[in-house]
Amino acid sequence: MSEKATQPKIASREVTTHILKAFGLRMSKKLGQNFLIDAGIVQGIVDAAQIEPGDRVLEIGPGIGTLTQGLAEAGADVTAVELDKKLPAVLAETLKGYDNVRIVPGDILKVNIPEIMGDAPFKVAANLPYYITTPILMALLERHLPITHMVTMVQKEVALRMVAQPGGKDYGALSVAVQYYTEPEIVLDVPPRSFIPAPEVDSVVIACKVRETPAVTVQSEKMFFRVVKAAFGQRRKTLANALKGGGLPKEQVRDAMEQAGIDPTRRGETLSLAEFAKLADAFSAMPQ
C-alpha cells in the first residue's frame, strides 16, 4: 500500500489534537488560526471547487494540512502558501506521501502569485485567515490572475456583503467588486464547532465562479472603482456629496450624474453595477 493511502484524515478532533500535541503547536489568534476538524466541510469545499484530477489549486493558509489533504486526495496539484514559519516542517510530516502538494512559505499578500502559479488557469481554495479576508479577496480579484473558481471559508457576515444586492445595509464596495469579477454563491453554513479553536463568529463557504468578462463593461476599471469607493465612503450622504467628498472633481459631479441618468439625491448603496458603470464612464469621458 502506498504511504498516501495510510494517512489518517486530519479533519477530525482526535487527529488534529494529536498533531497539535505531537508538534507542541500553540494556535495563533493573530494569524487567524482556526483549524477545520469536520471532514464533511473539507469535502464540501473540494466539491464546491469542482476539483478534477490534475486541477491546479492555490491554497491560502494550509495550517496543518487539513484542507490540503482533501484537495490532494481529489487529485489536485496543490500549491499552498503559509505564513506561519513553524508550519512547513509540520506539513512535511502530515502530508508525507502526497507528491502533488507544494508548500510555499510566505505571506499571500506579498508572494508573487504569477511566479508561483505560472500562466495556466488555476482555482483557489482556502479556509481564510479572517483578519485579512477582504485584502486577500481584493488582491486575488484585482490582479486579473487566471483564476477560474475561488472557494473560500469566510465569516458569514463578510459573505453576506459579498452577495448583497443594492438597497440593503450589506451592499458596499466589496459586493460590487466581488460581483463585478465573479458570480458568488453561499454553498455551506459552517458552525463554530467545526473548528479548533471554535471562532466567535459563524462561517460559510462561498463559491465565486470567476466571470470570463466582468459583469459590466467600463471604459476604465480604475475610474469604476474610484467612483464605487467614493460612493460608499460616506454612506450617509447623498451620492452627489459622497462623490465630491470622495475626491472626484467637484465641478464634474452634477454633469456626470445627469449624463448617467442618476438622480443626485440618491445614495450610493442604491446603485446597481450597471449604474455605477454608466456613472464611471461619464466621468471617464470628461477632461481628467
- Under the rule (CB under 6 A), what is the footprint of ligand SAM? 31-36, 60-63, 66-67, 81-84, 107-109, 127, 129, 132
CB 60 within 8 A of CB 107: no
For ligand SAM, the closer of residues 86 and 169 by Cβ is 86
Cβ 128 to ligand SAM shortest distance, Å: 6
Please identify, using beta-carbon distances, which residue of 36 and 177 lies nearer to ligand SAM: 36
Which positions ≥6 away from 33 have C-beta within 8 Å? 27, 63, 84, 129
- Of 44 and 61, which CB lies nearer to ligand SAM in the complex structure? 61
| Nearest CB to ligand SAM, comparing residues 153 and 279 | 153
Least distance (Å) from ligand SAM to the CB of residue 196? 8
Q: Helix crossing, 173-181 with 273-284: angle to 10°? A: 90
CB of 209 to ligand SAM, least distance (A): 21
Of residues 243, 235, 246, the one with CA closest to residue 270: 235
Instruction: For residue 250, give Cα distances in angstroms to 44, 126, 222, 244.
Output: 49, 42, 18, 5
> For residues 36 and 113, which CB has a smaller minimum distance to ligand SAM in the complex?
36
Sheet holding 101-105, edge to edge: 101-105, 77-82, 56-60, 122-127, 147-155, 203-210, 182-190
At closest approach, how far in Å is the CB of 270 from ligand SAM?
35
What's the closest the beta carbon of residue 170 comes to ligand SAM, in angstroms? 23
Q: Identify which of residues 142 and 221 has a Cβ nearer to ligand SAM in the complex.
A: 142
- 114 vs 145: CA distance, rounded Å: 7
**If 0-12 CB within 10 Å is exposed, 13-18 middle and 19+ buried, where does residue 268 land?**
buried
Q: How far is the CB of 197 from ligand SAM (least distance, A)?
A: 11
**Cell 490532494, located at residue:** 72
